Amino acid sequence: MTHRSVAVFLRPGILSVQVRTRWFMAGIELIDCNSVEDLLRIPVKNRLGALLDAQLDVDYLFDISEELERLGVPFLFLAPEDGPWTGYHLRSGRGHISRLVEALLLQGDDGQRH
């Protein structure tokens, strides 16, 4: 099975082995990235997009999101599991994985982003 890849820009310790394994079993490899250069190492044919931790430094997030936008790489901001925010969360259930992948793949269809 050929795995697709999603770049993840996360704080240390956010991505558990269990979550990473469940995504891999669903056919998606989560690739840890610290910069857009890391993301560019993922072959375009395998790259689904990027997930950004909304609790990272705001300037860092701005720079990364601007560069991803410029490159046409779909991305989503992830809300913390234990916070009051609604939105996307990094979970391992098949329904959660499908929801995130669908949101990445369908970006731009209606002009709505993230």
Which is nearest to 80 in space by CA: 51, 111, 114? 51
pLDDT tens digits, one per residue of 41-78? 999 999 999 999 999 999 999 999 999 999 999 999 98
Higher pLDDT among residues 65 and 110, named by residue: 65
Whether the predicted pLDDT of 90 surpasses 80: no
Cα distances from 40 to residues 6, 31, 59, in angstroms, run 11, 11, 21
**Residue 111 confidence class, pLDDT cut points 50, 70, 90:** very low
Whether the predicted pLDDT of 113 surpasses 90: no
Which is nearest to 44 in space by CA: 1, 9, 74? 74
- What would the mean pLDDT of 69-93 be, rounded to a whole number? 77
- What would the mean pLDDT of 93-98 be, rounded to a whole number? 79
Q: What is the set of domains in the chain, with CATH numbers? A: 4-105 (3.40.50.2300)
Q: What is the four-CA torsion angle of 47, 51, 57, 60, rounded to 10 degrees?
A: 20
pLDDT for position 92: 60
Could you tell me if 44 and 12 are in contact, meaning their C-beta atoms sit under 8 angstroms apart?
Answer: no
Whether the predicted pLDDT of 3 surpasses 80: yes
pLDDT tens digits, one per residue of 8-40? 999 998 888 998 999 999 999 999 999 999 999
Give dist(CA 31, CA 39) in Å, integer.
Answer: 8
pLDDT for position 66: 95
